[in-house]
Every structure is written in C-alpha cells, then in structure tokens.
Amino acid sequence: MDKTIQKPTLSARPILAVMGSILVLTVLALGISSTWAAKKPLEKAFPSSEKCKRCHLRVFEEWEASAQSRSIVSAPFRITLERYLAKADKKDQAMCFQCHAPHIAEYGELLPQFIKEVQSKDPQMDGVGCPQCHLIHEVDAASHPPIPTFELGKTIFGSYDKAAENLAHQSQKLDLFRNSQLCVTCHDSLPQTPQTAKDLPGWLGDWKASQAETSGKPCQACHMPEAVDESANGEKIRKVANHSFPGRFGKVRADAVELDFSTTVNGATSQVDVSIKSLVPHNLPMPHPGWSRIVVDLSIKGKNLKTVYNEQRFYQRVFGGGDGKETVFDFEAKKVLQDTLLQPEETRKEVFTFPTPKDAPSMDVIVTLTYAPVHGPQDFLKEVEQDAPLGQKDRAFQIVEIAQKKTNVLLKKK
Ligand code: HEC
Ligand code: HEC
Ligand code: HEC
Ligand code: HEC
Ligand code: HEC
C-alpha cells in the first residue's frame, strides 16, 4: 500500500477506513494479491540484498556467509524441487518457494521465472534476502503454516526504537523482530498439499514450553547473537544482531549438547552408558529436509589403535510415502514411521554393549555426534553429485561434527 496513507490525519481516517474496506473487498473479489493498481516490478518491491550492502556492509557480509543466502542455490534444493514439481498439482507448484523465496506470495504469476532462476544455478534473485525478512509486517500465527504479510512500501521494519534517518528508507520498530514467531513462520512445517499428509507433527517440537522460550530467549537470542558494532556504515556504535544465522554450520554448535559417558568392563563384555543432554529448545535435528539426521557413533580402538568395534544410532524422523515405503522426500510423506529426534531440552541415554578387545592393555572409547551427509536413493544422490559444481565436495556430502568425547580404559593391571 502507498506510504502516503500510513499516517492519516484524524479527519481523513473514516474515509480511509471506507476506502480500505473497498480495497480489501476488491482484492478479495478479484483474487489478486495485496498491491493496489499498478504493481511494482519484482526487483523494485524486493530489491536485491546488494542494494542494502552499500550502507549495511557488515550485516551484508554476515548474511552472505549464511545458509539463508543460499536458500535457492544448493544442488539438493534444485534436485528435490525438480522431483516435487514433477508430481505436484499446478496450484501447489509454488509451495517450496513459500519459505525458500517467500516473495512468491506477492508475485505468484512469476512462478516460471522463480523456477528458471533456480535452474540457472546462479540466481540473480535472492531467496531469503534482506527485504524478504525486513518487509514482513505481520504474521498470521493461527494459520498452518503461519503466513507472513509483506508491506511493500518505503518502510523497513526492524527492532530499533530509534533508527537513524537515512535517504534510502524509513524505519519502523516492530516487536515481531525480537519474537520467535518471525522465525517459526518458515521453520516449523511444510504447507499441506494433496501430496503431503494432513497431520504430520511440526519440525521444532514443543518449543513454546521450552525453558529458553519461557524465560524470554527467542530464536534470535541464539541464532542472531548480540554484538556491539555499527549497524549502518559510519553510524554510531550500538547493539547489533549477528546475521550469519549460525546453525548446522557456525559457532552455536558448540552449545548444542552436553555429552558424557561411563565405561564398565565385565570380563568378556563391556558396556558404555552415554548421556546426551540437549541444550536446545527445539528438536535436533530438524526433520526437514527429510534426510536430516544426527549420528551417535561409538568407536572402540584396541591394540595399535585399530578399530575393533563400531556402532551407529540415528536421531531422525523417518517418513513413509504413499506406498508405505520409507522416503527421504518429506513432501510425499503420508506418515511418520519412526521418530528418534532429540526433543527440546531432552536428556537421552544410550547403552552400548560390545566384546571387550582381547590381547590389548587398554582400549580407547570414542563417542561422536555428527550431522550426517545427505542420504537417500542412489539415483537421487548421483543426481545431486552431478549437479553440484563441487561434486562430492559439496557441503551436502560433508559430515559435520557436533561433539566428541574420548577416554582410554585400562584393561589389564601392569
Ligand atoms: C522467509 C522464511 C524464513 C524466515 C522468516 C526465517 N528463515 Fe531461517 N531459513 C530459511 C530457509 C529457507 C533456510 C535454509 C536455507 C538453505 O540452507 O537452503 C533457513 C536457514 C536458517 C538457519 C541455518 C540452518 C542450518 O541448517 O544451519 C538458521 C540458523 C535459521 N534459518 C534461523 C532463523 C532465525 C533465527 C529466524 C528468525 C529471525 C529465521 N531463520 C527466519 C527460511 C526462513
Ligand atoms: C515452511 C517453510 C519451508 C517450505 C515450504 C520448504 N522448505 Fe525447505 N527448508 C526450510 C528451512 C527453514 C530449511 C532449513 C532447515 C534447517 O536447516 O533446519 C530448509 C532446508 C531445505 C533443504 C536443505 C538445505 C539446502 O538448501 O540444501 C532442502 C534441500 C530443502 N529445504 C528443499 C525444499 C523443497 C524441495 C521444498 C518443497 C518441496 C521445500 N524445501 C519447502 C523451509 C521450508
Ligand atoms: C531471516 C530474516 C532476516 C534476514 C534475511 C535479514 N535480517 Fe536483518 N534482522 C532480522 C531480525 C530478526 C533483526 C532483529 C534482531 C534483534 O534485534 O535481535 C534484524 C536486525 C537488522 C538490523 C538492525 C540491527 C543490526 O544488526 O544492525 C539491520 C540494520 C538489518 N537487520 C539489516 C539487514 C540486512 C541489510 C540484511 C540483508 C543483508 C538483513 N538484515 C537480512 C532478520 C533478518
Ligand atoms: C543510504 C544508506 C542505506 C541503504 C541503501 C539502506 N539502509 Fe538500512 N539503514 C540505514 C541507516 C543509516 C540506518 C539507521 C542505523 C542506526 O540507527 O544505527 C538503517 C537502518 C536499518 C534497519 C533498522 C531499522 C529498525 O527500525 O530496526 C534495517 C532493518 C535496515 N536498515 C535494513 C535495510 C535494508 C533491508 C536495506 C536494503 C533494501 C537497507 N536497509 C538499505 C541506511 C541505509
Ligand atoms: C538456547 C539457544 C537456542 C534457541 C533459543 C534456539 N536455538 Fe536453534 N539451535 C541452537 C543450537 C545450539 C543449534 C545447533 C545444533 C547443532 O548444530 O548441533 C541450533 C540449531 C538450529 C537449526 C539448524 C539445525 C538443524 O538440525 O537443522 C535451526 C534451523 C534452528 N536452530 C532454528 C531455531 C528456531 C526457529 C528457533 C526459535 C523457535 C531456535 N532455533 C531457537 C540453539 C538455539
């Protein structure tokens, strides 16, 4: 809506209210989106983040290094999108973009262009860029999944009480920007389509009841950690929020879990009791994409540091497709076959038993928690590998360590 009617004078208000309802009715009747009359071109309404770089260099560089900046660029995304589009009804084809490039909500008619951008492997358009968050004016939390409303004017929304004036945009504080709800909009569930099941559980688990959330620590507290710096080039130093969105990659990983274990040797058999305490107020890992999993690995090294025993357990949500078989594509999931995700702030116990190494004076006991690389059907993995510019070196194929603990256990007295 035009910015000139943002601060109406008192006398103009009733007229505006009437105009407003006519506008709403017209919009509903025509089934068009919220912009009035001549619609701004896409690049004007959602300018490239490069346009913000000029004045917000630090923020831009952090964002550019983040996963959010790659939301429509990865090989797994391209290949999974293709698979989804091949089967989706015409009316549901924008589904993935709803979070990976949410401005589709305002420019649904440009869907073919969005798809072409993804296929180009080097999109000129951002997926989750600066305006895609900072033009969100409201989120309807009651709908499933929550739906954001953009306000496409000259005002940028943020969390500052008094942002310094500048020539590029007006600024307005919205409480939403310090609230988990902004993030939950895109981080809790896929929209329902005829392909997906009706009642799959959310990705985050019961985050609302978590200690972090109830003690006033929203998502931003951990994923946009506070620092002190310039918010815009040359502006005064003040509290700023880190925009590299650490998660699977980045520093927050060190604070994900407390890992502990004890070892008991009972003659020919030994036992390791592992305790994994999640410090995170949401599920770990998040079950989207459907192949996400955390691996708990126990390795026992005997004589000459040779691995004599190895066992792995997975924390994951395994989906069943229409044919009842396992699928890593959550968009075709009809039900959950198995769910071993670490729940918010849960402490999980794992007991491993194994043969005590023979002829060794001691053994190394090593417990490791990692994010597993992408897995799934062979043809899918081949396609991802061929599509990724770095092939097997793509980050999708990397193992990412979360925590590790090792001890040496004496087996014989000297
Ligand atoms: C418009 C949708 C949208 C909103 C709003 C959003 N995100 Fe995201 N976020 C994404 C998408 C899509 C990705 C995945 C990008 C990729 O890797 O393809 C992502 C990735 C992330 C990651 C990296 C995850 C990883 O595996 O390392 C973190 C952390 C994150 N977001 C946190 C947040 C926080 C905190 C907020 C709220 C301030 C937020 N997001 C708001 C869409 C969104
Ligand atoms: C409700 C919002 C939402 C929708 C809809 C959605 N995604 Fe995501 N997607 C995310 C978020 C958030 C992440 C980051 C997850 C994380 O790291 O925890 C993500 C991550 C991913 C990833 C892993 C990161 C990457 O870029 O390689 C892939 C692949 C992916 N999504 C594919 C899809 C596909 C294909 C669809 C449509 C079938 C889709 N997504 C629909 C929000 C969404
Ligand atoms: C996923 C959503 C998201 C994206 C993408 C995003 N921001 Fe933010 N931004 C936020 C939130 C939330 C806050 C408020 C954080 C707080 O106060 O804890 C914020 C705060 C800010 C602030 C004020 C505080 C500070 O750190 O300086 C500026 C300026 C800003 N963003 C600019 C940008 C620019 C420029 C980009 C793109 C390069 C960008 N943002 C991308 C969500 C986002
Ligand atoms: C001409 C320079 C300039 C450009 C271009 C610019 N900004 Fe800003 N922006 C500023 C200044 C100056 C501030 C005030 C910083 C302060 O108060 O510390 C600011 C403040 C902000 C804030 C904080 C608002 C609040 O109330 O919390 C956000 C968010 C923001 N800008 C986002 C953006 C985005 C997104 C873009 C690109 C579409 C952009 N800016 C382009 C100069 C600019
Ligand atoms: C108390 C700190 C804390 C809060 C609050 C928090 N997280 Fe996290 N989150 C973490 C940590 C730590 C990790 C890293 C886990 C890892 O990499 O092992 C993580 C991981 C993630 C990831 C990537 C992990 C994955 O498996 O894909 C996403 C996405 C994410 N958080 C989103 C959110 C959202 C959305 C909220 C708000 C509802 C939130 N987080 C609140 C600490 C927090």
CB 344 within 8 A of CB 206: yes
- The ligand 2 atom at the shortest distance from the C-alpha of residue 73 is 26
Report CA(99)–ligand 1 centroid distance (Å): 9
Count of the separate structural domains present in the chain: 2
Residues 326 and 364 in one domain: yes
259 CB less than 6 Å from ligand 5? no
C-alpha span between 396 and 75 (Å, rounded): 8
Structure tokens at 285: 């890992």
CB 98 within 8 A of CB 104: yes
Give domain status of residue 42, yes or no.
no
Residue nearest to atom 17 of ligand 1 (CA): 67
Probe target for ligand 3 pocket from 56, 60, 133, 217, with the most ligand atoms within 8 Å of CB: 133
Give domain status of residue 381, yes or no.
yes
- The ligand 4 atom at the shortest distance from the C-alpha of residue 166 is 12
Give domain status of residue 30, yes or no.
no
How many angstroms from the chain centroid is the CA of residue 141? 18
Residue with tokens 């061929």: 386
Number of H helices, E strands in the chain: 12, 16
List pLDDT tens digits, range 158-207. Answer: 999 999 999 999 999 999 999 999 999 999 999 988 877 778 999 999 99
Residues 172 and 282 in one domain: no
pLDDT of residue 199: 83
What is the reported pTM?
0.92
Residues 182 and 279 in one domain: no
Give domain status of residue 21, yes or no.
no
How many angstroms from the chain centroid is the CA of residue 117? 21
Give domain status of residue 405, yes or no.
yes
Domain end among 217, 241, 265 = 241
Residues 232 and 328 in one domain: no
CATH number, domain with residue 324: 2.60.40.10
pLDDT of residue 324: 87
pLDDT of residue 244: 95
Give domain status of residue 212, yes or no.
yes
Residues 292 and 216 in one domain: no
Q: Average pLDDT, stretch 35-58?
A: 89
Give domain status of residue 17, yes or no.
no
Residues 213 and 354 in one domain: no
The DSSP string of 317-376 is: EEEE-TTSSEES-GGG--EEEEE-PBPTT-EEEEEEEEEPPTT-SEEEEEEEEEEPPP--
Cβ neighbourhood burial of 10 (10 Å; 0-12, 13-18, 19+):
exposed
Q: Average pLDDT, stretch 73-98?
A: 96
CB 159 within 8 A of CB 241: yes
In the chain, % of residues over pLDDT 90: 83
328 CB less than 6 Å from ligand 4? no
Probe target for ligand 3 pocket from 134, 137, 179, 228, with the most ligand atoms within 8 Å of CB: 134
Strand 317-320 and strand 294-301: the pairing is: unpaired
How many angstroms from the chain centroid is the CA of residue 42? 25
Cross-strand partners of 352: 272
Cross-strand partners of 354: 270
How many angstroms from the chain centroid is the CA of residue 76? 14
Peptide bond preceding 289: is omega within 30 degrees of 0, i.e. cis? yes
Q: How many CB atoms lie within 10 A of CB 352?
A: 19
Q: Average pLDDT, stretch 393-406?
A: 95
Which residue intervals of 48-128 are DSSP H helices?
50-53, 57-64, 75-87, 97-100, 111-119
Please name the residues in contact with 156: beta carbons below 8 A apart, sequence gap of 6 or more.
131, 134, 135, 169, 170, 171, 172
List pLDDT tens digits, range 249-281. Answer: 777 777 899 999 999 999 999 999 999 999 999
List pLDDT tens digits, range 214-248. Answer: 999 999 999 999 999 999 999 999 999 999 999 88
* pLDDT band at 23; cut points 50, 70, 90: very low
How many angstroms from the chain centroid is the CA of residue 305? 39
pLDDT at 322 over 90: no
Cα Rg of the chain (Å, integer) = 25
Residues 233 and 263 in one domain: no
Q: Average pLDDT, stretch 374-383?
A: 97
Residues 198 and 289 in one domain: no
Give domain status of residue 234, yes or no.
yes
Residues 235 and 276 in one domain: no
In the chain, % of residues over pLDDT 70: 91
Residues 233 and 155 in one domain: yes
Which residue intervals of 307-390 are DSSP H helices?
378-387
Domain end among 187, 208, 241 = 241
pLDDT at 24 over 50: no
pLDDT of residue 192: 85
C-alpha span between 323 and 330 (Å, rounded): 14
Cβ neighbourhood burial of 42 (10 Å; 0-12, 13-18, 19+):
middle
Q: Average pLDDT, stretch 325-340?
A: 95
List pLDDT tens digits, range 95-135. Answer: 999 999 999 999 999 999 999 999 999 999 999 999 999 99
The range of the structural domain enclosing residue 266 comes to 254-410
* pLDDT band at 413; cut points 50, 70, 90: low
pLDDT at 358 over 60: yes
Residues 231 and 260 in one domain: no
Instruction: Output the average pLDDT for the chain.
Output: 90
φ/ψ of 366, rounded to 5, equals -125, 120
Residues 234 and 258 in one domain: no
Domain end among 199, 217, 241 = 241
